[in-house]
Chains A and B, each alone.
Chain A
Amino acid sequence: MNVLTQNFQLYGDGFLGTLRLTVYSSLLALALGVVMAGFRVAPVGALRGVGTAWVAVLRNTPLTLLFFAMLLGLPRFGVALPFELFAVLALGCYTSSFICEAVRSGINTVPLGQGEAARSLGMTFGQTLGTVVLPQAFRTVIAPVGSTLIALCKNSAIAGSFSVTELLSTYKTLNENGYSVLWSFVWIALGYLILTLAISALFHFMERRWGAAR
């Protein structure tokens, strides 16, 4: 117990670090994922190709490899970003491929007549997708996007090994200061549980509020 109380600052920083990583990467992943999903259903073949390749490559890339490649590769171009930004980029791009697939299968659940009705009103592809199909798809993708973001939160632990302040890496400082390793991990685990349960609750709420009746 005293591991927590005596190192509240450290745990707090770690917790906030993980929270920041999760929030920023989620935003990036959602934005990129929706765009890529749009590409994947677009009438232009080349765009579909971009979307498909994005998903196929990133979904089969180990996240650690992505961090590894960014940290070794980007400096070669003289890119010296803060490490937290590297981490957000890696996490966001990686997760966007899963968001893309969730959104795409959500698009597939919207009844065919909706799109046909929109088109009969003279809407373009962009209008049909943006104002008719995606808002309805949104209702069905709440749950899968929620579990993807929970996974993102858990995956953010990798960033700690690449010198980003986050929850898991607090164990190193605690270990150096001679605290019980067992207890420091208990509190770390609890921190992740709080975050994942919070995301879970948030998406549960959204699901109840806007979710599609099933």
Chain B
Amino acid sequence: MPELRHRTPRRAGTPPTARVRGARTRAVVRAAVLLAALGSALGATGCGKEGSPPARGPQPGKLPRYTVDTGFALPGSPTWQRAKKRGRLTIGVKEDQPGMGEMNPATGVYSGFDVEIANMVAASLGFDPDKDVTYKAIASANRETALQNGQIDYYVGTYTINDGRKKLVGFAGPYYIAGQKLLVRADEEGLRGPQDMAGRKICSAVGSTPLQRIEADHPEAVSVAYDSYAICVDNLLNNQVDAVTTDDTILLGYAAKDPEKLRVVGKAFSEEPYGIGVPREDTELAQALDTAITAHEKNGDWKRAYDVTLGLSGVPAPPPPRIDRSLTS
């Protein structure tokens, strides 16, 4: 009460500017309180569990370790030279493809068959995968740009070798021949390959080559397009579509997360040779990578890498493909 009495006369007496200033002070206080509330709300979320949610599906055993070739030198490759001077190799990978290249959102750790391939050839180039390698997630649309402007030294991520891309980047490999297949629910009986797709809902990523192939070659199937394969798989598990189709590698990656419920079926109805993308002029690097891939295929690293990643789906490793030397000549 006394406060109120005190305030009223002062207000009447003060010049308008002071009144504005008073209002401003109050507003600043109000804003500060608001900010503090926001801050504490953010702070409140700061308490949580360490680590990451348990990964689904069968867990891989010990990941293979690759012998680092410390004496390796490749003076003719500008990319390798730059990496050596930096002391680190920057490898472009995928971050959203389970089984091939996936980043654990909670821990930031990359895993998958592509990542293992990237690691084994890094070891051959003289970089320790545990210490001297930085992964950089590069989306499919930006792979060429990333290689052209030197964001990454090489790229390993479901990268199909084709003529269009050969004009923009160089390739080593192939290190795997993928093919378009179907992912179905494990209890699915009537859908075993492309011949059974009539009237069934087949899902793929919008604008992707597998989707175009289904639409062109199998008009009897009902094609459904979503923004990413993950949405397709989610809809498959919820019975909204009957199959997901794309490269078997990607499908095996999903199947490995839930082999009880998901299964890859059919014969491949396309051939997708996966290569390691390198800067276009750097044939020396591509040749060195070819040599490295061959060596790791021979000493069993390649198969071990498959077994701890895509192999978890229950599908055994195929024989590794033959390196295409014409790519680097």
Contacts and interface: CB of A to CB of B under 8 A. Distances in A.
Are A and B close enough to touch in the complex, i.e. CB under 8 Å? yes
Interface of A: 71-72, 75-76, 78, 80, 83, 162-163, 172, 175-178
B7 to A, nearest CB: 35
B225 A162 contact: no
Contacts of B227: 71-72, 75, 162-163
Interface residues of B, number: 16
27 contacts: A71-B226, A71-B227, A75-B226, A75-B227, A75-B231, A75-B235, A76-B234, A80-B224, A80-B225, A80-B226, A83-B206, A162-B206, A162-B227, A163-B206, A163-B207, A163-B225, A163-B227, A172-B141, A175-B144, A175-B168, A176-B144, A176-B165, A176-B168, A177-B164, A178-B164, A178-B167, A178-B168
A78 to B, nearest CB: 5
Contacts of B224: 80
Contacts of B207: 163
Contacts of A178: 164, 167-168
A13 to B, nearest CB: 14
A121 to B, nearest CB: 46
Interface in B148-166: 164-165
A76 B226 CA distance: 11
Nearest to B141: A172
A183 to B, nearest CB: 17
Contacts of B235: 75, 78
Contacts of A175: 144, 168
Contacts of B141: 172
Given A163-B207, A163-B227, A176 B234 contact: no
Contacts of B226: 71, 75, 80
Which secondary structure characterizes the binding site on chain B? mixed
B297 to A, nearest CB: 30
B67 interface: no
A153 B226 CA distance: 24
A162 B225 CA distance: 12
Contacts of B240: 78
Nearest to B226: A75
A72 B225 contact: no
Which secondary structure characterizes the binding site on chain A? helix
A83 B167 contact: no
Contacts of A78: 235, 240
A172 B145 CA distance: 11
A160 to B, nearest CB: 11
Sorted nearest first, the 8 A-B pairs with minimum C-beta distance are A163-B206, A163-B207, A71-B227, A178-B167, A176-B164, A78-B240, A80-B224, A75-B231
A172 B226 CA distance: 20
Nearest to B144: A175
Contacts of A80: 224-226
B276 to A, nearest CB: 19
Contacts of A177: 164
A163 B208 CA distance: 9
A172 B140 CA distance: 12
A177 B206 CA distance: 21
A147 to B, nearest CB: 31
Most buried by B among A75, A78, A162, A176: A75
B226 to A, nearest CB: 5
Given A71-B227, A177-B164, 19 more contacts: A75-B226, A75-B231, A75-B234, A76-B234, A78-B235, A78-B240, A80-B226, A83-B206, A83-B225, A163-B206, A163-B207, A163-B227, A172-B141, A175-B144, A175-B168, A176-B144, A176-B164, A176-B168, A178-B168
Contacts of B225: 80, 83, 163
Interface string B204-239: 001100000000000000001111000100110000
Contacts of B144: 175-176
B308 to A, nearest CB: 31
A128 B60 CA distance: 72
A83 B167 CA distance: 30
Nearest to B203: A80
Nearest to B201: A80
B210 to A, nearest CB: 14
Contact of A72 (B165, B206, B231): B231
A12 B164 CA distance: 22
B214 to A, nearest CB: 14
Contacts of B165: 176
Contacts of B167: 178
Contacts of A162: 206, 227
Contacts of A72: 227, 231
